Structure 1
Amino acid sequence: MFVSEEGNDNSPGTKDAPVRTLQRAIGLAAHVRRNGQAPTRRVYACGGLFEEAISLPQGVDIWGGRLCAGGDWSYGGPLDEQNVLTVIAPPVGIPVRVLGGDDDAVSAEEDATSVIFGVRVEAADASARDGKSSIAMILEHGARAIVQSSVILAGDGKDGEPGEDAPSFRANAGVVGNDGVDACTANMAPGALPVVTVCGDGIESTGGQGGDGGLETGDHGTSGLPEPVGTPDNRGSAGTGASSMPCADGGRGGDGADADRAAGAASAGLLGVEGWVGPRGENGKPGGVGQGGGGGGGGKGRDPMNACPAGRPQGGAAGGSGGSGGCGGKGGKGGDYGGASIGIVALQGSDLTVEDSKVLGAKGGNGGVGGTGQWGGLGPDGGHGGHSLGPDWSRGCAGGGGGNGGRGGDAGGGLGGHSLGIGSVSATVTLGYKATVSPGQAGTGGIGGNSTPERPLGKGNDGTAQFWYRFDAPDPEPPQ
């Protein structure tokens, strides 16, 4: 089947009446003809520009660089700068895709091989499905192709987007503790009720309940929750109730732990039918929730020398409850990967041979910067203890303040995009003596949030620049 820039897709695809597009010619060459003859399996293309992405069934050939002036469709000799190649250069997408055996509608032969001859394949910058990578040719699973006397050029990859920053304002603050009731208002004054902060991740911070005010002794308050991690200076301890000594205030809650900086992207990424997908930097983890303050101890209403006024209830003042702790800050989002620039991708089970051709990668995109974490919420004061009517031992004690929430972690940077002549995974690749396969410049990994180029903490790995890089096969899916 014959294709020319001057052709018409309604034509039969003969020398005298060529079609206009490569894909139309490929479709005609791949199917049984009207007279029942076998498919031609060959496409002859004039030198010129074809701005289309093509899918080539296994066993169908493209013979480009034909000299079509005068209608002889001859081959003009060595395909160099002085001779016109057939240029395949779509504005978007992967220019050439060789289909595997499962997609082959042409031949039942298991070893059917497509020959791609006399073409110049040019991938546009960042034109693959991910919107970042540029890949000129893909051999799908099980595909077989010989690239001969051709030039295969990838475009530049696009830089990865920075990871989303966590909110610039602080996370939710805790709640001020409740005040205890005054002395001599009840024979057993109930301690102030706890206050609770529910954070976005479902973790609660609870201030300790105030101790009850009693007759002969006051009750202890309760400790704040959650239990602090590690050994902080403050532990939200419960205040003691009055007995032989006055009551004690509740302790301040422990601060939530700051999250560590997340790691940058490290793996090489994966090849698939849409090209290459790289890893993002790790997301920052949330900061720890501040512990609630301990509840203040309750007072007592009387001892051998003192008592509430006659006719009044005799209980001491109740303790105030602790303030709840502030919520932990959210983590930043990981930086995105930079787009890769790969001349040819060969997937599992495929067989690629490159002879007397150039296969070139261009520039990989830089990885995106990791997002910054959010500051934790502040822990407020505890509630006041109830007032006394005279002696110090009758007063209620204050609840402790809530702990501050920990800062959310800064995220890691994304992987730099690779620059490869050929990228393969479990494929057979053969390079002929006159094959030139070269990379361009790989992208640099993105730095972590809140770091600098001089001190690039949380940095993603730089991309790889190699003439041929073999990727690891993806892990098999577990059985259902």
Structure 2
Amino acid sequence: MPEDCTIKLLCDGGAGGTGGGTPAVCVPSENEGAVDDICGVFVSASGSDENDATKEAPLKTLGAALALAEKNEKRRVYACAETFEEAVEVTHGVTIYGGLDCANGWGWARDQRKTVLTARAGETPLVMRGGGAEATVRVEDVHVQARGIEPGDVALAGASSIAAVVEEVNVELARCVLEAGDAAAGAEGAAHETSAMGGAEGKSGGEACSAEIVVPGGSVKNDCGTPEDESDDSRGGSGGNGEADSGGLGNHGAPENLMNGGKGEGAAVCTDGTAGENGPEGGPGAGATGLGEISASGFTGVAGRDGTKGGTAQGGGGGGGAKGGASAGKCTDEALAGGASGGSGGAGGCGGAGGRGGGAGGASLALVSLNATLSFEEVTLKTGRGGAGGKGGAGQEGGAGGAGGPGGTKPEEATALNNACAGGAGGKGGVGGSGGGGRGGHAIGIAYKGAAPPVQGATVELGEAGPGGVGANAEGEGAAGVKAEVQAF
């Protein structure tokens, strides 16, 4: 039988060999020279995706080579020991043979050089998935290198560095390196741009000698933007009435944390309402403790909890009313002899929203395995550092209280009467509690779901896990990340 026919027969599966059932004549590590063009698809960084995918005319990108190999019954890709900057997905039982010395005849370079696969920061260079229960993806002599995240890269805050993801497929790795870089620190809890809603100013009291009983202006309310929910309302106390014989008491502001209405004029002159009590501060958020989630999209960490909302402040007390009367130096008409009425208190400010929790630090993961079957032969799994958890954000400032309304005045000729008293200012809303710190990022060789993967045939080199993010107190500190060769999720 002619030699080329023998090669065709063998490469179509007519003889045994390593590499997931690939015949030995098509396995670079079992041959002194290059394998034949008929064995599969050839790719070099110096090629062109318009080429014929042979050694003389290789494709340029691994993505194009894999797409062609998936349509080819042999499903083999032969890659030069060069650097390919792209994120690729391997399916349908394709085998990648890397580490080929393409400058010297496409023979196997042994342990001198490997094919390097990398991608942009934040991207996973190699994903292997699917193809049915019997499908096996095999990769030989490839160094998969996930880039680390540059410190201060705001766009990639909390991003992970993951070298490879394997999902529901059998995978064989031989003489490969899966290397993750340093992950990004989590974002600090975002600051609130403005303070919470402030309270309205109180209303002025009525002028003396304008009615039999001079009533004050109505109280003012701050509904804190939730008119259907009265639990967070603040009201300024209304001022006291002005009557002929006495001034009425100013009413207390609500919520009635403090008795702050002013006294009406009787034996002594009236008094102003006093300021409302400030709202209580919100509580701090808890620090993040959960492990996070892994998926085909990568890793999602756990952020710190938001702080709780600050309390609404009390409205200012209403000012006391003044007495009137009809006689010399007082009102000229007995039917209009009421004294000046008190000003109403200003509404209190709303409580500030809780500070936002710090973001989770990104994880540095050499391999994410999702219900996959793995085997290793002289494989190195290497991680960088997990990202630090983000600091919890500051709580929003409470809203300012409204000023108290001025007391009603007397006519200029009513020299024997007094002006009424002013309402008190509303209190300031309580500041929101600080957010909790985010969890530190992990440094894990194999993060998995499903059956526990083996570690035989693999060497694991780990960086450090990221520290937890800062919170307001010990309970607000995010937990540090996990450092482990293998970790179930």
Structure-2-length-normalised TM-score: 0.78
1:69, 1:75 → 2: CA distance?
11
In 2, distance between residues paired with 1:186 and 1:277?
70
Aligned pairs for 1:368-379 (under 5 A) are 368-379=390-401
Structure in which a larger fraction of residues adopt helix: 2
Gaps of 5+ in 1: 33-38, 472-480
Contact 1:3 1:22 in 2 (8 A): no
Q: How far does residue 299 in structure 1 lie from its aligned partner after superposition?
A: 4.2
- Quick one: distance in 1 between partners of 2:137 and 2:271? 87
Change (3 A) 1:63 1:186: same
Matched AA of 2:97: W
How far off is 1:318 after superposition?
1.4
Structure 2 unmatched runs, 5+: 1-39
CA contact (8 A) 1:369 1:412 kept: yes
Distance 1:384 1:75 in 2: 93
Root-mean-square deviation (CA, aligned residues, Å) is 3.3
Deviation at 1:26, TM superposition (A): 1.4
Q: Secondary structure at the match of 2:68?
A: helix
Q: Spell out, residue by residue over 1:313-343, the C-alpha distance to the aligned partner (whole angstroms, 9 max, x if none).
A: 2223212211221333344333222221110
Contact 2:330–2:416 (CA<8 Å) still a contact in 1?
no
Q: State yes or no: 1:257 paired with 2:292.
A: no
Output the CA distance in 1 between the equivalents of 2:108 and 2:259. 85
Q: Report what 1:470 is aligned to.
A: 488
Percent of matched pairs sharing the same residue: 39
Retained in 1: the 8 A contact 2:133–2:169?
Answer: no
- What's the offset of the Cα at 1:145? 1.2
Supply the distance in 1 between the matched residues of 2:374 and 2:282 (Cα, whole angstroms). 48
Deviation at 1:309, TM superposition (A): 4.3
Deviation at 1:247, TM superposition (A): 6.0
1:36 aligns to what?
Answer: none
1:91 and 1:192 mapped to 2: Cα distance? 66
**2:49 alignment counterpart:** 9
Deviation at 1:147, TM superposition (A): 1.7
C-alpha deviation, 1:112, in angstroms:
1.1
Distance 1:75 1:310 in 2: 116
**Amino acid of the structure 2 residue aligned with 1:293:** G
Distance 1:174 1:21 in 2: 64
The alpha-carbon distance between structure 1 residues 411 and 317, as it changes in their structure 2 partners (threshold 3 A), is same
Residue identity matched to 2:333? G
**Structure 1 residues 2-11 or 90-99, which shifts more?**
2-11
2:442 is aligned to 418
* Partner residue, 2:80: 46
Give the structure-1-normalised TM-score. 0.80
Counterpart amino acid of 2:71? Answer: H
Alpha-carbon shift at residue 187 of structure 1 (Å): 0.6
Name the SS for the 2:134 alignment partner: coil
Determine which of 50, 64, 69 is the counterpart of 1:24.
Answer: 64
What is the CA–CA distance in structure 2 between the aligned matches of 1:116 and 1:86, rounded to whole Å? 11
Contact 2:173 2:375 in 1 (8 A): yes
Which residue identity does 1:458 align to in structure 2?
Answer: G
Inter-partner Cα distance in structure 1 for 2:403 and 2:430 = 17
CA distance in 2, matches of 1:65, 1:235: 83
**Counterpart position of 1:155:** 181
**Who is 1:474 aligned against?**
none
C-alpha distance in 1, partners of 2:48/2:57? 8
Q: CA deviation at 1:372?
A: 2.0
Residues 1:205 and 2:231 are matched in the alignment: no
Distance 1:424 1:314, change over 3 A: same
**Aligned AA for 1:2?**
V
Q: Is the CA contact 2:115–2:143 (under 8 Å) kept in the aligned structure 1?
A: yes
Matched to 2:191, the amino acid is D
Which of 253, 256, 281 is the aligned partner of 1:224? 253
Match of 1:476 in 2: none
User: What pairs with 1:240-389 in structure 2 (closer than 5 Å)?
Assistant: 249-302=272-325, 308-312=330-334, 313-347=336-370, 349-379=371-401, 381-387=403-409
Taking the aligned partners of 2:101 and 2:239, their CA distance within structure 1 comes to: 95
Query: Does the CA-based 8 Å contact 1:130-1:277 persist in structure 2?
Result: no
Decide whether the 8 Å contact of 2:395 with 2:431 is kept in 1. Answer: yes
Matches within 5 A, 1:456-467: 458-467=476-485
Q: CA deviation at 1:457?
A: 6.9
Distance 1:235 1:439 in 2: 63
| 8 Å Cα contact 1:138/1:344 also seen in 2 | yes
Does the residue aligned with 2:454 lie in a helix, a strand or coil? strand
Structure 2 contact 310–398 (Cα < 8 Å) conserved: yes
Conservation of the 8 A alpha-carbon contact between 1:99 and 1:143? yes
Cα distance, 1:219 vs structure 2: 4.8
Distance 1:214 1:309, change over 3 A: closer
Displacement of 1:275 in angstroms is 0.9
Q: Report the secondary structure of 2:476's partner residue.
A: coil
Contact 1:192–1:211 (8 Å) recurs in 2: no
Aligned residues, how many?
A: 436
Per-residue deviation, 1:420: 1.0
Give, in angstroms, the shift of residue 156 of structure 1.
Answer: 1.0
Partner of 2:461: 438
